[in-house]
Structure 1
Amino acid sequence: MKESEARQASEFARIQTETNVAEKDKDLKIKVAGFQAETDRQQAVADAAGQLSKAEQDVSVAKLEREALTERALVEAERLDITQKKPADAAAYAARVKAEGERDAAKAKAKVRRTRRPLWPGRLRKPPCWRRPVRPSP
């Protein structure tokens, strides 16, 4: 009987030990799972932050590209203004000034013609009515 009680006590101690080991193993697995969940959660936050940071960088890059394109367009417009518009404006201005000068000269000549007195005989020129008649050809 003592043997049976000793075996029983030994069996009970073994079961108790295995139960304690199983509980400790379960607690360990729960802690490991908790740590893993926390690690996964922090990794997800880091990934989200990384994606947000990349999106912000993409926005910054797009804004810089837009500014660069705007600056290029302004430079091109200025180049066209210098190489084509200003010379064309200068040529148009020169043509307008020349035309105005020619017009003013023509007006002045016309005014002189209107106000000039004809030179009659004895004054070096014949009046227009003294011109020779044109003879018809045979």
Structure 2
Amino acid sequence: MKSTLSILFLALLFTACEVKPKKINYGSDNCSYCNMTIVDRQHASQLVTDKGRAYSFDAIECMVNYHKEHTDQAVALYLVNDFKNPGELIDATKATYLISPEIPSPMGANLSAFNSQQEAEKTQAEYSGERYNWEELKSVLKKQ
């Protein structure tokens, strides 16, 4: 009996610290940065720490700003919703970004993420704007 409880405890311990995205409950979860309700499936984002704690955001810039204020947290995953596949979280560090005044986002940065550079280019051709990679985007947002 004692060994069964020990195994159960260890199993719970390892699954509690699993580093993976957490489902965003659109319409009920609040942004970890600005506390607005997360409703937009095209612009939401998520940060997962190396301990497995997930923080969800209503906009990409909220995630970036949150991390600027919490540099003590080691981040395992930066995730953003793919604009072309609403609700699908993708690796933020590999995404291509578009800032276009013709595509409003929840916090007003007009910032959208794309799983591929080609999709970002197509959207840019349709709506205008400037494209960025992850490092360029962080630099642009740092200036705001």
TM-score normalised to structure 2 length? 0.21
Structure ranking higher in strand proportion: 2
Structure ranking higher in helix proportion: 1
Higher RCO (CA-CA < 8 Å; seq separation 6+): 2
Higher gyration radius (CA)? 1
